[in-house]
Structure 1
Amino acid sequence: MDWKPNRYEEKPLYKQITDYMKRKIERGEWGYDTKIPSQRYLASWFNVNRSTIVSALQNLIAEGYVEGEYGGGTKVTYGKWEKQSPLPNWTAYIEKGSHYPNQPFIQKINQYEFEKDLIRLGTGELSADLLPKKLFQQLMSSADETDFHLGYSEPKGDVQLREAISKRLREKGIYTTPSSILIVSGALQAIQLLSLSLLERSARILVERPSYLYSVNALQSAGIKLIGIERSMNKPLSIEKVEQLKNRFDLSLFYVNPTFHNPTGALMGEDERKALVENSIRMGLPIIEDSAYEDLWIDEKPPLPLKSYDKSGQVLYLGTMSKLVSPGLRIGWVVGQEGVIERLADTKMQTDYGSSTVSQYVARRWMLSEKYEEHGAYVRKMLKKRRDFMQFLLECYFSHLATWTIPKGGFYIWVVFHFPLNFDKLFKKGVEKGILIAPGHIYDRLDRTSLRLSYSYASLEEMDKGLRILAELIEKEVLMQKKENKL
């Protein structure tokens, strides 16, 4: 919703809200059987008392626009259109769609992330002041019209961009030609293309647990099952366990986030990487390497990517500009065997007919710019400052509540509490107090003790305020649990 009531109008707030919701219904934006957002959510969104929302809904019910169901919320009814031909029940279509909806928590986070007054403690992107906006404006203002076009790009993407990526990858020990690179609209699209092009329904892939992949349904919607293997900050990956799971579940692929893992921040060591690639070849288990956070090292450069040790085409390597440069560009890439890249490119052409040529042009200019390394160094410097400050705040506010390991790069600190928490309640209370969190069960459905904290987005002042509020809420929750246990 992109509207707010005007407190300076003569018309009462509840009538303004009634008229707004009428328009949503009359225009078909809220179709028949659509469930209206909860009273609590609407009150929070419109910044009014809950009684104001109740009055607005009562008006809508009286006029036949909606009806309330005990325990089922408020839904749009035929109302004034009852005498016309029946309208399609879009809710039924929505429920039958083949692509699964996001987890409710993810849906809420996606909505709340655009509220200006919330302190975002779990966001997986750089703050606006760390993005190279002015540099991008300079790149665009100096565009050569003979080198810039607005038509479609070739199936694998702009060849000059792929050449620039190929050159950058050589610095990481990955030697590949532009023909083995596919430009995608972010790494998530790469995962979707892999599920559509390379895997059959009911296929099983191995993922680290917790994992970013549990927070999206790109693979699950394609009928693919995720098999988890525990990922620890302090213990190397068990090759023996990988092999056991490979044999037990007939695994097709292993999705790995070896460098500043999302959400734990874990970093796979050099020997561990070599052993994984070597044994994956022996086991016949191809690897998808997600390198989203690879350039965000803070203390020292990480080991070379898994792909650099791959001499047989065993590893598919995913890269992105979303974390270091701009999530809005929607530019990523896949590196792999040429036949695989051609298959993925063919599928991509059938889904979106290629990534934006404007974004590809900007990405190419950026890759070739002398500002590329300068910006990376600046971001790493700022991330170190933010990470160290968050570590200080955790020691101040959370040392008696939880444990954590400080990552050597990336965006996240994985905080593990000494006791299980009611994250449903904590999330709601947090929003009411002005903070937005990312509970651990988003990344591992069974987790009830962990939280992903991000130091990449909130300012230092916001971090201090937000973590202090969070600690107070958790302390109150612990106190309530103790009282209940005594009773």
Structure 2
Amino acid sequence: MFTIDWKPNKSSPVPLHIQITDFIKEKITNGEWTVGYKLPPQRILSKALGVNRSTVVTAYEELTAEGLIEGKSGSGTRVINNTWNLLATTAPPNWSSYVNLGIHKPNLPTIQEINQAEFIPGIIRLGTGELSPNLIPSTSLKKVFNKLSSREITHGYQEPKGLLPLREQVADYLKTIGIQTSPSSILIVSGALQAIQLISVGLLHKGSIVLTEKPSYLHSLNVFQSAGMNLIGVPLDKEGIQISQIPNYKRQHRAALLYTIPTFHNPTGTLMTVERRNQLLNICQQEQLPLIEDDVYRELWLDENPPIPMKASDNNGLVLYLGSLSKSLSPGLRIGWIVGPEPVIEHLADIKMQTDYGSSSISQWVAEALLSSGLYYQHLSEVRKELRTRRDFTLNTLNKYFSDLAVWDKPTGGFYIWLHLLPSISIRKLFESALSEGILLNPGNVYDNTAEQYLRISYSYASLPNIEDSLRRLSNIVKTITK
């Protein structure tokens, strides 16, 4: 998806094609669109600018005649020169080649489209995995900010593992869910995603195999792959990851570790049973297979408390436990934690210091105040109530519009409903058709390339009227495509 923050002035006496030509020249001259940059197709640019395609065609022709761009069949139109280079004897660097050779792989194309489309005014984000702005405790946050403004707090860098008072509060919280640990075994990170990045570069070597559920949120990222790792999916059923296959997968692929989201799994919403958790921990202990337990959705239970974490039963330091406030409190706070053996935590803390010199001090103080004051726990009670209402409303709406088009399970917590479409349909065509009507979807194939008939539906972000409106229109789109 191409976005642009400029549009031609249709009331100007300057012809539209000249305005567009000058705009692109400025982008090239300023070095924003460098040699090798691929310009958007004429159809896409004309739509973004709100002009006829012929206007863009004329602008491209003039830029081509001036030797600034070149169009080739099959590879699109690219910048081949800039106005300074026309006068110079040496060519400027081709930054596109650097981008392509960089170590960190780009997001999947669909994920890039989703990330950009989320900021289109008026878009209905039907798959977004975060709390609605209306569910973020603004009043509590203001109380905390006011309280901190009158306290003496440190605004400089914190020690490598993070703010000690915050780690003490996290240790106290962990005790309430069965995990006995000390602040020295906790590393404060900027969300669970950074925890995964630190683990990938700090504990694994290039070529390592990581086992995870299939489907899994991890498959929508290139975090491990960018560090030279490979993901292998293990099938998932209604009780969680199918542990009977893990020994074979471990030996066949020489897997280095296993990553799991046992509590309100992303994207399926599955809650791993107590029995399956015990079995998984036992299998991993037998196989000496380290386990990453990503538990960021734990506090978003809607019907009853979920089983205690596997980390609570880990007596051998096998489990690295991940928690976060991003899902349950606010994505903008960017505070999470890793719990593990002290040598591992110290090593990851050292790597974190090399990358960002510690998470935001202000965010850490805010998180500490929310936990120590009890405001966080008050918020959890309120947000569960709201999410329960949203879940039930979404399920009723699905029954109304999708009863003959899809099947799904009722989640008992988290954000997601894993919708299995019954008609055979092009998920790409559905994505594009919905987007053209202002509905942003999360297709299942970004979490598992074989999940072509699935959508991740979220009830946490869009308003209830928007959820009903978008699901009603989406059902009509599905019916139109399958005719």
TM-score by length of 2: 0.95
What is the CA-CA distance between 1:206 and the residue it aligns to? Answer: 0.9
Structure 1 distance, partners of 2:50, 2:383, is 36
Q: Are 1:390 and 2:394 matched, yes or no?
A: yes
Q: Hey, what does 1:161 align to over in structure 2? A: 166
Paired residue type of 2:5: W
SS of residue matched to 1:205 = strand
Q: 1:142 aligns with which of 147, 152, 161?
A: 147
Corresponding position: 1:188 with 2:193: yes
In the TM superposition, what is the alpha-carbon distance from 1:118 to its structure 2 partner? 1.2
Say if 1:121 and 1:438, in contact at 8 Å, map to a contact too: yes
Task: Give the secondary-structure state (helix, strand or coil) at the position aligned to 2:211.
Answer: strand
Please give the secondary structure, in 2, of the residue aligned with 1:246: helix
Q: 1:210 and 1:236, CA in 2 relative to 1: closer, same or farther beyond 3 A?
A: closer
- Residue 416 of structure 1 corresponds to 420
Aligned residue number for residue 40 of structure 2: 37
Q: Identify the range of structure 1 (205-214 vs 16-25) with the bigger mean alpha-carbon deviation.
A: 16-25
1:66-465 to 2 correspondence within 5 Å?
66-80=69-83, 81-84=85-88, 85-144=90-149, 147-232=152-237, 234-465=238-469
How many angstroms apart in 2 are the aligned matches of 1:56 and 1:385?
A: 52
d(CA) in 2 for partners of 1:12 and 1:471?
Answer: 43
Give, in whole Å, the separation in 2 of the partners of 1:2 and 1:379.
36
Query: In the superposition, relative to structure 1, how do residues 8 and 294 fare at CA in structure 2: closer, same or farther (>3 Å)?
Result: same
Q: Is the partner of 1:295 in helix, strand or coil?
A: helix
Q: Which moved more, 1:274-283 or 1:121-130?
A: 274-283
Contact kept? 1:5, 1:16, Cα under 8 Å: no
Q: Taking structure 1 as reference, are residues 369 and 131 closer, same or farther at Cα in structure 2, changes over 3 Å only?
A: same
What is the CA–CA distance in structure 2 between the aligned matches of 1:56 and 1:300, rounded to whole Å? 61
Matched with 2:6 is 4
Cα distance change of structure 1 residues 44 and 168 upon mapping to structure 2, 3 Å threshold: farther
| CA apart distance, 1:9 | 4.0
Which amino acid in the other structure matches residue 123 of structure 1?
Answer: T
- Residue 407 of structure 1 aligns to a residue whose secondary structure is coil
Structure 1's 132 and 17: CA in aligned 2 closer, same or farther, altered over 3 A?
A: farther
Once structures 1 and 2 are overlaid, which stretch shifts more, 73-82 or 155-164? 73-82
- Shift, 1:147, TM fit: 3.1
Deviation at 1:294, TM superposition (A): 0.8
Deviations 1:323-347 (A, max 9, x none): 1111111111100000100010011
Q: May I ask how many residue pairs the two structures share in their alignment? A: 478
Q: Is the 8 A contact 1:5 1:13 kept in 2?
A: no
1:258-287 per-position Cα deviation (integer Å, ceiling 9, x unaligned) = 000000000001121122112211221111
Alpha-carbon deviation of 1:140? Answer: 1.4
Counterpart secondary structure, 2:382: helix
Distance 1:358 1:236, change over 3 A: closer
- Kept in 1, the 8 Å contact 2:302–2:387? The answer is yes
In the alignment, the residues of structure 2 paired with residue 217 and residue 116 of structure 1 have an alpha-carbon distance, to the nearest angstrom, of 28
Structure 1, residues 42-75: CA drift from partner, whole Å, max 9, x if none?
Answer: 3443344444443443343344332222221111
Deviation digits for residues 236-271 of structure 1 (CA, Å, limit 9, x no counterpart): 543321112122222111101000000000000112
**Equivalent position amino acid for 1:415 in 2:** L
Specify the code of the residue in structure 1 equivalent to 2:219. Answer: Y
Deviations 1:157-216, CA, capped at 9 Å, x for gaps: 111111111111111001111000001111111111101111111111110000011000
Q: Measure how far apart 1:146 and its partner are.
A: 5.1
The secondary structure found in structure 2 opposite 1:229 is strand
Structure 1 window deviating more from structure 2 (290-299 vs 71-80): it is: 71-80
Letter in 1 for 2:92: L
Between 238-247 and 433-442, the greater mean CA deviation after superposition: 238-247
Task: Rate the CA distance shift 1:92–1:324 in 2: closer, same or farther, 3 A.
Answer: same
* Paired-residue identity, %: 47
- The worse-fitting range, judged by mean Cα deviation, of 401-410 and 270-279 is 270-279
Between the aligned partners of 1:73 and 1:344, the Cα distance in structure 2 is 43
Residue of structure 2 equivalent to 1:482: none
- Any idea what SS the aligned residue of 2:258 has? strand
- Structure 1 residues without counterparts, runs of 5 or longer: 480-487
Distance in 2, Cα, partners of 1:150 & 1:180:
24
The change in CA–CA distance for 1:394 and 1:13 in structure 2 (over 3 A counts) is farther
Cα distance in structure 2, aligned partners of 1:361 and 1:45: 43
**Partner amino acid for 2:428?**
D
Distance 1:129 1:47 in 2: 33
SS of equivalent to 1:155: coil
State the alpha-carbon separation in 2 of the partners of residues 59 and 464 from structure 1: 47
1:459 deviates by: 0.7
Distance 2:461 2:15 in 1: 38
Q: Does the CA-based 8 Å contact 2:8-2:49 persist in structure 1?
A: no
Relative to structure 2, which stretch is displaced further, 375-384 or 6-15?
6-15
CA shift in 2, pair 1:288/1:465, >3 Å: same
Using the TM superposition, name which of 38-47 and 72-81 deviates more: 38-47
Q: What CA distance in whole angstroms lies between the structure 2 residues aligned with 1:274 and 1:418?
A: 34
The answer to whether the 8 A contact 2:239-2:273 is kept is no
Change (3 A) 1:366 1:40: farther
Structure 1: distance between partners of 2:299 and 2:55: 49
SS of residue in 2 equivalent to 1:42: helix
Q: Which amino acid aligns with 2:294?
A: D
Q: Report the secondary structure of 2:432's partner residue.
A: helix
Letter of the 1:101 partner, please give it: P
Q: Verify the 8 A CA contact 2:268 2:456 in the aligned structure 1.
A: yes
Question: For the structure 1 residues 417 and 72, does the alpha-carbon distance in structure 2 shift closer, same or farther, using more than 3 Å as the test?
Answer: same
Partners of 1:169 and 1:319 in 2: CA distance? 10
Q: Deviations along 1:350-399, whole A, 9 cap, x unmatched? A: 11111111111111111212321221111111111111111111111111
> How far apart, CA to CA, are the structure 2 residues paired with 1:42 and 1:134?
43
- 1:71–1:339 distance in 2 versus 1, CA, 3 Å: same
Deviates more, 1:149-158 or 1:79-88: 79-88
Distance change >3 Å, CA 237–CA 93, structure 1 → 2: closer
Gaps of 5+ in 2: none
Report the equivalent of 1:27. Answer: 30
Matched residue type, 2:419: V
